[in-house]
Amino acid sequence: DAKTTQPTSMDCAEGRAANLPCNHSTISGNEYVYWYRQIHSQGPQYIIHGLKNNETNEMASLIITEDRKSSTLILPHATLRDTAVYYCIVRVARNEKLTFGTGTRLTIIP
Amino acid sequence: DAGITQSPRHKVTETGTPVTLRCHQTENHRYMYWYRQDPGHGLRLIHYSYGVKDTDKGEVSDGYSVSRSKTEDFLLTLESATSSQTSVYFCAIRKGTGTEAFFGQGTRLTVV
């Protein structure tokens, strides 16, 4: 699986959009971008994933650049409950392993 | 919550004793995983299973063994616990390789 690089930490004001970047410059054509988050000592929670096209669900939007070397997770209206560590993972869909990096610690500020 | 139960939720044990953690699912998912989480290291994969009696090693498998004799149960055993195995352990399940994973609430293990 391709390596990902994320900022260690970020702050965002409550009610604003939180934009979390992820670099995956070595991504290959059959690798997906997945995002998970972990809220204070709970088990991680799936957010969204995509291959090439931008994706949106009830939690977030995923914007993948045209060259697929980077992506951005967008939480459109951040709330205090979005404070968490966010993990960007790049992997081949058929890969049985699921490995995590250290993620971005996002703090939503009132 | 996806039907995942980890037991025990908390355990304190002495160095050198065997410890078994249990992950139980009610979803009939094929894949099951064990992770450990330590400060500064994020989640690290210990072992995973892709079916009954089918398991493989992850990044940090030394000192751990697993067994999966039934679809619903995935056991993680520390044959002889060491202080370096003090950690929070998470179990996860997935229906298929392209699907999202669901995690349990974690087991906090302290080895003294």
Site of tokens 């979390």 = A20
- pLDDT of residue B95 exceeding 90, the answer is no
Question: Which stretches does DSSP call E strand in chain B?
Answer: 4-7, 10-13, 19-25, 31-38, 42-51, 54-57, 64-70, 73-78, 87-94, 101-103, 107-111
Chain A CB contacts of B35 under 8 Å are 100
pLDDT-based confidence at B2, cuts 50/70/90?
Answer: low
Radius of gyration of chain A from Cα atoms? Answer: 13
| Residue A102, helix vs strand vs coil | coil
B48 vs A32, A45, A96: nearest CB: A96
A94 close contact with B: CB closer than 8 A = yes
Chain B CB contacts of A84 under 8 Å are none
A103 torsion bin: left (phi>0), alpha (psi -120 to 50), beta (else) = left
Residue A16 exposure: Cα atoms within 13 Å on the Cβ side? 12
CA distance B3 to chain A (A): 13
What are the tens digits of pLDDT across the range B20-74?
999 999 999 999 999 999 987 788 999 999 999 999 999 899 999 999 999 999 9
CA distance A97 to chain B (A): 7
